[in-house]
Amino acid sequence: MGIHNDVEEILFTEEQLAQIVRRIGRQINEDYKDKNLLMVSVLKGSLIFMADLMREIHIPCAIDFLSVSSYGKGTVSSGEVRIMKDLDQSLEGKDILVIEDILDSGRTLTYLLKTLAARNPSSIRLCTLLDKPERRQVEVHPDYVGAQVEDKFIVGYGLDYAEQYRNLPYIGVLKPEIYENA
């Protein structure tokens, strides 16, 4: 069955992910009802989460995309962050909600949040689908968290290994033999 055979276990089914997204969407609708919301997707991993989350937002909002790199083709962040694609619009006076797939070491998001805060938004908050707190190397506190996960190599629903597995409709643990000898 192709890529599905590379998954050791499923952590979150399609149905569980839909429930998480609905819960976060309801909270964002309440928190941003009188704000100038700009949702910023951190590509590529958050694309699917952002698309589903947008459909749960029932207040006026705009979207934009940012691409950063800190992993290359490895399984561990290099610590060096590069902006590969910047935002298309000004952040001044907007209420920014950064949408991320997973909060891991926190280094990339710390850099990104500082960079965006320097652009004079009215506010800036962080929404992450998954949080891996035991991997944290710098202090980052997300405002919205879908779920906490253990320190396992996970893929699916936008999360990848070497640009593969993003298209899995669920989130699962990748079998170690897939990445250990890479």
Across 67-76, 86-95, 123-132, least confident range: 67-76
Find the CATH number of the domain harbouring 73.
Answer: 3.40.50.2020
Q: Which pLDDT does position 40 carry in this prediction?
A: 97
Active-site residue, selected from the candidate residues 104, 131, 151, 160:
104
Instruction: Choose among 128, 77, 119: nearest CA to 98.
Output: 128
User: Is residue 157 in a domain?
Assistant: no
User: Is residue 6 in a domain?
Assistant: no
Instruction: Choose among 177, 160, 156, 155: nearest CA to 168.
Output: 156
State which residues form the domain around 45: 20-149
In the chain, the number of structural domains is 1
User: Is residue 182 in a domain?
Assistant: no
User: Is residue 93 in a domain?
Assistant: yes
Active site residue 104: yes
Q: Give the burial string for 136-172 (b: 16+ CB within 10 Å, else e).
A: eeeebebebbbeebeeebbbbbbbbbeeebbebebbb
100-113: pLDDT as tens digits: 999 988 888 998 99
User: Is residue 161 in a domain?
Assistant: no
User: Is residue 167 in a domain?
Assistant: no
User: Is residue 129 in a domain?
Assistant: yes
User: Is residue 98 in a domain?
Assistant: yes
